Chain A
Amino acid sequence: MAKHKISVTINGAVREAEVESRLLLVHLIRENFAMTGTHVGCDTSHCGACTVHLDGQPVKSCTVLAVQADGCKITTVEGLEQGGKLHAVQEGFTEKHGLQCGFCTPGMLMTTSALLERNKNPSELEIRQAISGNLCRCTGYVNIVNAVQYAAEKMR
C-alpha cells in the first residue's frame, strides 16, 4: 500500500506529511502535527468533538481521510485566536460559561465560528440546529446558546 505525500495549510502554515491512505484527518492533526486541541470523541461521526474547518466548511475530521485534505486549507481550534486575541466565540464561551468539562468545546467553537461567518444574527433555533451535530453532555446547551449569542453581538 503506497504512502502519499500531502501538503496542507493548517492555521495559515504549510505543513507536509507522508501518510497512509487510511490515516484519518483527525490523526494527521493530532499525531503528525501534534495539535491536540481537536478531540476524538465518539470516533463514529456522531459527536462532533473533532470538528475542523476544511476549506472553510466545518466537517468531522474523524470521517475524512488525511489524503483527501491534500492541498486544502484547514483551521483547527488553535487557529481561532489571532495575534493573542481570542475569537469572539472563545470569548463568548468564557464569558457565558459555555462549557463544563470542555471536551466538546473545540468542536463547538469550530461549528459556531463557521455559523457566524454565514449568519451574523442567528436565532436561538438556528444556533441549536447548527450545533445539532455537536454533542455536549454537561451544559444542557443553554449556556452554549448564550455564548454564541454573545459572540454574534460582539462580531456585528
Chain B
Amino acid sequence: MIPAAFDYHQPGTLAEALKLLKEHGNEAKVLSGGMSLLPMLKLRLASFEHLVDINRVPGLDYIKEKGGNLCIGAMTRQATLERSDVIKSKFPILADAVPLIADPLVRNRGTIGGNVANGDPGNDQPAIMIALGATYVAQGSKERTVAANQFYKGLYDTALARNEILTEIRIPMPPARSGGAYTKLKRKTGDFAVAAAAVQVTLGKNGAIESARIALTNAGLTPVEAVDAGKYLSGKMPDDKTLMEAAKMAAAKSSPSADVRGSVEYKKEMARVLTARALKSAVQRAGAN
C-alpha cells in the first residue's frame, strides 16, 4: 500500500518546523515516529498535502528531572522510555505500560509525543498522563501548557492548534508513599486495548488514600477520567471492598463501542476488573500493608 502523494519537509530546527505549519495550515501534519500516521496514510484513512517531519529537530529527545517534574521531550522513543532508570524506579505506571505498547520494533520508532498528541483513544499514554496529572507543552507563536485532562476533545481532536507542536510532557514527581499501575487487556501483541486502566495513588501517613486518579484507555472517544471514583477513594483506607467499589464507579464512566474486541457489556466489565487490579497494585506499590 502506498500513501497518496504529499510534499515532505525535513526542518532542522523547531522554528523552521513551526514556520512550515503556519505556512501550510490545515494541509500540514507533523510526522514524529510515524507509527500511527504512516499506516493511516497507507490505508488512505487520512491524507495531507504536507508532512512536516520533526525527527531531525534537535533537542526534543530527553528525559530529565527539573523543577519538581519529570520532563520528557516529545521525540523520546518508546524504546528509550522502556530502558530508562528513572521510569523504572519512580513511574511504575509507565514501566507497566511501555512494554505493552505495540511491539519492540514499533517502539524503536514510536514516540511519547506522538502517542499523547495523536488523539486516538486506543493509545495508552493519554490515560496514564491524566492519572499522573501531567501537562503538555505546546509551541506555537508562543509557548503554552495544557493539562493532560483538558487536552482531549474528541476522536483525533485535541487542544493542540494546527500551528502548534507538542514539545514536552511534564509529569510532577510523585510524593513519598505514591504508587501507580497500568493494567491492559489485549488480544495479541500489537493490538490496541480491549480495555485498560491507569491508576496513580498517594497514601497519607495513617495509610489512608490521600489522593487517587483513575483514567481509562479505549473507553470512549477520548481517554476517560473517572473523577468520581478518585474522589470517592480520597480519605478512605485502601481495603478490598473500597477499591472494588471505586472500580465499579470508574467502569460506569466508560462508554466503549462494540467492535471485534468485544461487546459494550464485556468491555465495561473488563474496565472494572482492570481498574480493580490496577488500584490494588498501585496501593501496594505506594506501601500499603
Contacts and interface: CB of A to CB of B under 8 A. Distances in A.
Interface in A58-75: 58-60, 62-65, 67-68, 70
A59 B105 CA distance: 5
Interface string B101-123: 01111101100000000000000
A58 B105 contact: yes
Contacts of B260: none
A154 interface: no
Contact of A1 (B5, B34, B38): B5
B105 A24 contact: no
Nearest to B191: A46
A133 B106 contact: yes
Given A63-B39, A68-B55, A45 B106 contact: yes
A21 B7 contact: yes
B3 A132 contact: no
Contacts of B1: 43-44
A143 interface: no
B8 interface: yes
A62 B96 CA distance: 28
B156 interface: no
Contact of A60 (B7, B8, B41, B106): B106
Contacts of A62: 42
Given A44-B42, A46-B190, A22 B6 contact: yes
A120 interface: no
Given A20-B5, A21-B7, A22-B2, A43 B42 contact: yes
B16 interface: no
A133 B102 contact: yes
- Across chains A and B, which 8 residue pairs bring their CB atoms closest together, nearest first? A133-B103, A21-B8, A133-B105, A132-B189, A22-B3, A1-B5, A57-B108, A63-B38
A71 to B, nearest CB: 9
Interface of A: 1-2, 4, 20-24, 27, 43-46, 48, 51, 57-60, 62-65, 67-68, 70, 111, 129-130, 132-134
Interface in B1-29: 1-8, 10
Interface of B: 1-8, 10, 34-35, 38-39, 41-43, 51, 53, 55, 79, 99, 102-106, 108-109, 189-190
A128 to B, nearest CB: 10
Contact of A132 (B4, B51, B53, B103): B103
Contacts of A68: 34, 53, 55
A75 B10 CA distance: 23
Contacts of A111: 104-105
A2 B39 contact: no
Report which residue of B5, B8, B55 has the largest number of chain A beta carbons within 10 angstroms of its beta carbon: B8
Contact of A45 (B2, B6, B35, B53): B35
Given A21-B51, A63-B39, A64-B34, A129 B7 contact: no
A56 to B, nearest CB: 10
